[in-house]
Structure 1
Amino acid sequence: MSNPDSFIDEVSEELRRDRLYGLFRRYGWIGGVVILVIVGGTAFTQWSKAREAARAEGFGDALIDALDTGSPEARREALAAVPATGTQVVIRDLIAASDPGEDREATLAALDAVIADTTLAPAWRDLAILRRVGVAGADMPLAERRASLEGIAGAGRPYRALAAEQLAYLLIEEGDSAGAIQALVALTTAEDAGASLRARAGQVVTALGGAPAVPASAGAEAAAPAAEEQED
């Protein structure tokens, strides 16, 4: 009985092998295509990254060359001639607006171009608004400055704390010291305010005769020794 069983097993194994080879001949090309797609996709990704890196490097070099140009007028012309797309356009325009001492009107015009571009992310436009208010200064009516700053001082806006600080300074300009102190004290404990902004706000509050807010942690630390003394 063993010989017939062995023969049947060998035949079955041969049939399975032939079927496997048949399937491989019929569908094996799919594996090759998958491998080619994976290799091709990886190569394309690396090529795209290299191209973007080269593009960014070329843009940066062009900006540096433009800024090395002699006169302010020549620098602005050189900057305007730098090829740029997407976010690069905003960066180029903001750099062009970084020299108000040399050409204030051109700086304001560059900032207005960024503000007017509704296709940009709010962060870029908010930054341009904040910068424009600072560059324009007292030449821009106080009501217009306040309206511009209030538009970017809402909760969740990227430069909310900086805009709130400038709004407090407008209160000082109006003579409302009490209102300015209240606004600045709030900034000294604001979570979205940086350490330098909080320190600056605290200094102005002190200069106005107010008292900066005491952080909760500091109050707790001061209360602990007092409690210990009472127990003693």
Structure 2
Amino acid sequence: MSELFDEVNEEVRREQLKKLWDKYSLLIVALVVLIIAGVGGWRGYQYLEAKKAAEASAAFDRAAELSEQNKHSEAEAAFADLAAKAPYGYRTLARLRMAAEVATRDQQAAAKLYDEIAADRSIGRPEQDLARIRAAQLLMETTTYPNMLQRLEPVTAQDSTFRHTARELLALSAWRANDATAARKWLDQIANDGDSPPSLRSRAEALQALLPPAAKS
């Protein structure tokens, strides 16, 4: 008797499954197709992105080689092309390198390019700070200490990657402006920062020795 009930139950289950399949088969097939297409599309996207990154890397290396060969105009054009077309990470690097190439012929124009990178909130803070540093280095001989302070003071924060360089540039700019108090402030920050590189400490000590006695630490 139990075998008969088992056969009946099995038949009922088959009938229920058949009804469910008849009712939802199109939906199930569509869902499976979408899953397969989604997986295939994602893998295709990953492949294309990897291919683009590899192509951008090779193009970046070729542009860098042009720069090393002192073919700055060609390198500038190559980096400009990368800045316009390369994947995100390479675009920022290409913009920085393009500005460096421009600096070989026009430092003011290069400083403007660096300023544009520094003001671009779509990129990371380290890249923005590096652009600020590069622009300040180009303008050191021609701009005022207040301008340098406006440019670089945000980079001097304790959590900034380039704080050491920013402090040194500000100390030099203040010294050139005969502002011994400001120069001492930045030199003291260099001296009191345990992470200041030894070479930077040595330069800071040398500059400290040039300050008037009243301004010494």
Answer whether TM exceeds 0.5 for this pair.
Answer: yes
- Partner residue, 1:229: none
Residue number among 86, 89, 92 corresponding to 1:90 in the alignment? 92
The alpha-carbon deviation at position 202 of structure 1 amounts to 3.5
Q: Give the RMSD, CA atoms, in angstroms.
A: 3.4
- Partner residue, 2:212: none
The alpha-carbon deviation at position 204 of structure 1 amounts to 3.9
- Partner residue, 2:21: 24
C-alpha distance in 2, partners of 1:205/1:199? Answer: 10
Name the SS of the counterpart of 1:151 in structure 2.
Answer: helix
- Partner residue, 1:227: none
Residue number among 171, 180, 190 corresponding to 1:184 in the alignment? 190
C-alpha distance in 2, partners of 1:12/1:198? Answer: 81
**Using a 3 Å threshold, how does the CA distance of structure 1 residues 119 and 17 change in structure 2: closer, same or farther?**
closer
Letter aligned with residue 52 of structure 1:
E
Letter aligned with residue 75 of structure 1:
A
Between 1 and 2, higher relative CO (CA 8 Å, sep ≥ 6) is seen in: 2
Residue deviations 1:83-123 (CA, integer Å, cap 9, x gap): 42555443222102224773242432432342454554444
The alpha-carbon deviation at position 150 of structure 1 amounts to 1.0
C-alpha distance in 2, partners of 1:109/1:182? Answer: 31
Letter aligned with residue 96 of structure 1:
M
C-alpha distance in 2, partners of 1:91/1:22? Answer: 60
- Partner residue, 2:39: 42
Amino-acid identity (%) = 19
C-alpha distance in 1, partners of 2:58/2:3? Answer: 78
Higher-Rg structure is: 1
Displacement over 6 Å in runs of 4+: none
- Partner residue, 2:77: 77
- Partner residue, 1:103: 105
Letter aligned with residue 33 of structure 2:
L
Name the SS of the counterpart of 2:197 in structure 1.
Answer: helix
Count of residue pairs the alignment pairs up: 199
The alpha-carbon deviation at position 81 of structure 1 amounts to 4.0
- Partner residue, 1:200: 199
**Using a 3 Å threshold, how does the CA distance of structure 1 residues 109 and 126 change in structure 2: closer, same or farther?**
same
**Using a 3 Å threshold, how does the CA distance of structure 1 residues 42 and 11 change in structure 2: closer, same or farther?**
closer
Residue number among 142, 145, 152 corresponding to 2:148 in the alignment? 145
**Using a 3 Å threshold, how does the CA distance of structure 1 residues 161 and 66 change in structure 2: closer, same or farther?**
closer
- 1:185·1:201 contact (CA, 8 Å) conserved in 2? no
Which is richer in helix? Answer: 2
Letter aligned with residue 98 of structure 1:
A
Structure 1, unaligned stretches of length 5 or more? 210-232
1:10 aligns with 2:12: no
Query: Normalization by structure 1: what TM-score?
Result: 0.66
